[in-house]
Structure 1
């Protein structure tokens, strides 16, 4: 079986193409072209989870079966990449896997590309001030992804480790040509910002409604399993929620589950799925606070993996 490693994935994909693939994956999901169950999560040692995510695309260039199996190590337990595993792509008959693609690299790019797609739809066109909570691979990927869709000129970062913040700032100046302000508190990091990306494995809320400016867009991608929570449930008071998939978010996002229990969100229709929007979507003139909560969909992995395989074959 052919295996495409992380270096191959990153040599083929960029965020411009990732945006297009994210839009297509969300469109397929919203149009009913995808069969995918909720993610199966198995808890291992402390801060270690295994996720299994199968999907089937019914028609078109991405038609077929795919399955992602990944072990996620969060927080201090993560020595090296936090996501390790493979995406298996099956043959046309759907009887056996023929290609395995590195899941860590795909997850890194497709997660940030999904946030960039939501940001392109929801954030102010002139948004230039970015706050990033977290300092890991997703923090770096999100900085690059935000640069692809908005004129970012100022970046602030918060993390639990001063050393990690300093490494992130040095990386940003080298790879993104952007200076970074290192902040001691979350409230300081998000003050007067236009876009916030939360990329941590927090077990208890780090971002509260009182911390926010009157208008901003938030991409909340960390803490996407029960027992982990970045956003306090009060974040959904006087804000508008958008999701990658309502059903998945209601099953896996602690902050959304608690907001429903508190009566701040409706169980039946917690948010608007981004796949139902288009580039022509126009929000109200001053939308206030918008939140994109994503937990990751198998169809994203399938679409990205099939595109990587297609481009790899074309380059032979």
Structure 2
């Protein structure tokens, strides 16, 4: 069995590789070539959680599951908030063939999926990015979005101004992009062409009055029913597109809140981002449209990444092979 560590994944899975990989995986999902169940979540003490995500890529491609713990307090200690493993099985023999670090895959594939969605939904001239949050996904989204748009400015907001300032400094120093921290969400979003919400907010922080016409939003921070980052009026205003429609209809908090308020029906989820990428669904129709890509994450993103990593590791001679 091949075992790929956090360091192995970080070395191999670049954004240049992962963004097109996510595009292909989401098209495969929307074409019905993959199979998956909704994620199961067990709530633990102190806001922690344990999730199980099983799925299959279809045909003779890999199947397996991601097992992941979420410990939000780890960020303050410099540790990953998401930790776990992706277990990959061989579709022809049924044998388990690989264990891959899930924390690093989740970090890269989530931002890469947002970048792929941004590439097809944001205006071609979009250059100003606002990031709400300053955790791992905030940084990963800056890394990934710059792969698909020529960013000229990044604004960062978070409840701890010092941490938002630190992320702005990191962005300036590493990427040479003008970056500042904002005092509030309204200031951060005011001039943005692209907004990424990557917070752990329980109640909405971004609403329609914060967002100018033509903006694209990646709603990432909430991946389950309950915590929501985006207010009802903004959901109603938007062209709302899911990563996985069945998942968003059951677990997409922002959509569920607006539906519960009687403001929208299921048809407000226009379809999946894979349908847009496949040319079967219009994404942005007009320059002034506000588009939302609702990301809850799904296991075919993890399995596609893990299968690609196994092949790349074999070619590069990376990873540990252990008897099973």
Q: What range is the shorter-chain TM-score in?
A: over 0.9
- Aligned pair in 2 of structure 1 residues 35, 2: CA closer, same or farther (>3 Å)? same
Secondary structure of 2:274 counterpart: helix
- Aligned pair in 2 of structure 1 residues 77, 155: CA closer, same or farther (>3 Å)? closer
| 1:262 and 2:261 aligned | yes
Shift of 1:259: 1.1
- The answer as to whether partners of 1:68 and 1:301 remain within 8 angstroms in 2 is yes
1:1-316 matched pairs, under 5 angstroms? 1-59=1-59, 63-74=61-72, 79=77, 80-93=79-92, 95-268=94-267, 270-278=269-277, 283-316=284-317
Instruction: Give 5+ residue unaligned stretches, structure 1.
Output: none
- The answer as to whether partners of 2:74 and 2:80 remain within 8 angstroms in 1 is no
What is the alpha-carbon root mean square deviation over aligned residues?
A: 1.7
Shift of 1:282: 6.8
Instruction: Give 5+ residue unaligned stretches, structure 2.
Output: 318-324
Shift of 1:262: 2.4
- The answer as to whether partners of 2:225 and 2:256 remain within 8 angstroms in 1 is no
- The answer as to whether partners of 1:47 and 1:75 remain within 8 angstroms in 2 is no
Report which stretch shifted further, 45-54 or 271-280. Answer: 271-280
Secondary structure of 2:218 counterpart: strand
- The answer as to whether partners of 2:123 and 2:214 remain within 8 angstroms in 1 is no
Shift of 1:239: 1.4
Partners of 1:34 and 1:52 lie apart in 2 by 17
- The answer as to whether partners of 1:236 and 1:264 remain within 8 angstroms in 2 is no
- Aligned pair in 2 of structure 1 residues 183, 94: CA closer, same or farther (>3 Å)? farther
- Aligned pair in 2 of structure 1 residues 13, 143: CA closer, same or farther (>3 Å)? same
Shift of 1:175: 2.1
- Aligned pair in 2 of structure 1 residues 112, 165: CA closer, same or farther (>3 Å)? same
Secondary structure of 2:269 counterpart: coil
Shift of 1:313: 0.1
> What CA deviation, in whole Å up to 9, does each residue of 1:8-54 have, x standing for no partner?
11111111211111111101111111110100000001221111001
> What CA deviation, in whole Å up to 9, does each residue of 1:221-273 have, x standing for no partner?
00212221111122122211011011111222221101112233322562320
Secondary structure of 1:46 counterpart: helix
Runs of at least 4 residues of structure 1 off by over 4 A? 75-78, 279-282
Partners of 1:6 and 1:165 lie apart in 2 by 26
